[in-house]
Amino acid sequence: MIKNNIVDEAIPIFHDKNINYIREEKNGFFSIVSKYTPEYSVQLFNRVAKEITDYCNGTNNVKSIINNLANHYPKVSNNLLKNDVHKTLILLSKYGFVNWKEGLNPFKINRERITKNINDSLLITKTYEEDLKEIVEYLNKYLYKVPSKREPFIKYIYPAAIHNKFLYSEFALRQRIFNQLEEFYIISKNDEILGIISFTCESLNKSKSSFGVILLEYPASNYLKDSINFAIPNLDRDYSRISIGFRSNKKGEIELNKSGEFINSLIQCGFVKEAELLNMYGKNINETIYSYIIN
């Protein structure tokens, strides 16, 4: 349960850098489109929500916002105003339009950390928003970088992220993790991260997931099967299908070393070849899709 005093003292800040555009609509409504979370379409807010965002200036805390609105709407009960402000701030946080001073989001749920030993020395851990810094630092070592001597044994990035580096910026990742648009698992040894696996939520089909990032510094056969078998049942969203596509004839689109061993590990987990797409977009790009069906 969220403590009221924690919420009252928290200070929201309207974050216009995440806004593609904001437009006034009829009857005092306004619409906002997010820049870095395209999974969400146009969001429509009423006049009171606009007043709330005006008070999110980095000075007013939640309690003072409620008091200001109470002065403006003296006939409205304090409990109703309080509920409206809380619900609006939760939505604005979810869509990335509001940040919190010192990163203290009072509505964030502190969840129990889930871990499992996947062999004698490796540990897999389900991550949450508080693990963001570690995730960003590790991704920055390997994503979009010139190959180095210490390249991961397997490096996979789903196609949308190849051409949109903002999807794995710190700000965009914070929104994706907070809204469960992407769920990350860290593989570590003696507190050193040696791999990351993530699952993304398909924007048009919320029941379908795809692998987002796979970075593994050990041969996949050593632990990939156990990692996936641990991760899938612990996903927060209820998916019916998880897929991954391997493209060829497009250098740099998807980097995947030792693909044969990796695919064999997927098959051992229950993935099946679902489709082969030939000459995609008329550009001689072929893609093989493997999927895991969840009952």
pLDDT tens, position by position, 22-58: 888 888 888 887 776 655 556 778 888 889 999 999 9
Residue 121's SS3 state is coil
Residue 89 has pLDDT above 80, yes or no: yes
pLDDT tens-digit series, residues 180-206: 788 999 999 888 998 999 998 876 566
Give yes or no for residue 164 having a pLDDT over 80. Answer: no
For 36, which DSSP code? Answer: S
Which domains occur in the chain, in start order?
4-103 (3.90.930.60), 115-293 (3.40.630.30)
What pLDDT sits at residue 251?
47
Buried b / exposed e over 17-36, threshold 16 CB at 10 Å, is ebbeeeeeeeeeebebbbeb
